[in-house]
Amino acid sequence: MKKLVHSLNAAGIEIFADWLKDPKGSAPTAMLDDPSYCVEIAKEFWVDINRVFDTTFELGKYLHEEVFHNVSDPVSLDSNTGMWAWISLAFISSLLSKSSTRNNKPLDLPHYLELSGQTGRRLGYRLIARTAWKLVRLHGPLAEIALGSKKSPWGEMAEQMTSRQEIFAHPSFWAVAFRLYRGPQGELRRGATSQRPASARKDPKNNAGKGGVRRLPSTFRQFDRTYLTRAMSLEQMLQVLPKEYQRWVAQS
């Protein structure tokens, strides 16, 4: 069913937030075209609210290629928090937890709504639908490395690759991460998001957690002191990566 994209007003956002905090019964999707809870936006965009997506990457690809294509003012679209709340509600069935303990339950509030004030600005990257659209728009198929999980609409890879502004839009970072951590069948390589334990830090011979995505941003920060990394090709980046990444390069 095609619906014209709207923006949830304050009353609509409050009702949606209440449901997210205490999800009894079905999501309040009846608000999607109720003028008491939503308002029209400046331009016409249409979505098929019956679409269901196996991964957040698929949702982002749909929004970029079929809904918000040829957008002349992406900054204005990005900042329309009421519209992204509407989008979150429209596709809520694809954005719920898939874990065994919280199956079909919402994740934390910032994954669907932008909170007010400084907290909202700090956690804005977690608004799943908006970030999915932005990443596919910026990085195309490379965005799948962060958004391709079928186990959760927002996995650890998404958190690690979007929480730092210096790498969010960094083309070389995404190309390297895609090469290192994506398996031959599109799966995430085992250990890609592992954290280096405190015990391993005391033992130079212990390689646990080395070369993973948690360490890659700091490697890029160090490189930026010497190289113009945004202008480097993927092969150039792979050649200068430290030794700890070589096993990942060899497997790619």
Q: C-alpha dihedral over 129, 131, 137, 142, to 10 degrees?
A: -110
Average pLDDT, stretch 142-147?
98
Closest CA to 241 of 141, 154, 202, 252: 252
pLDDT one-digit tens code per residue, 190-229: 999 988 766 656 566 656 668 999 999 999 999 999 999 9
Q: C-alpha dihedral over 115, 129, 156, 136, to 10 degrees?
A: -130
Question: Given this model, what pLDDT does residue 103 score?
Answer: 83
pLDDT one-digit tens code per residue, 48-71: 999 999 999 999 999 999 999 889
Q: Is 152 exposed, middle or buried (0-12, 13-18, 19+ CB in 10 A)?
A: middle
Domain ranges (residues) in the chain? 1-159, 164-252
Is pTM beyond 0.75 here? yes
Closest CA to 107 of 169, 167, 47, 159: 159
pLDDT one-digit tens code per residue, 12-28: 999 999 999 999 999 99
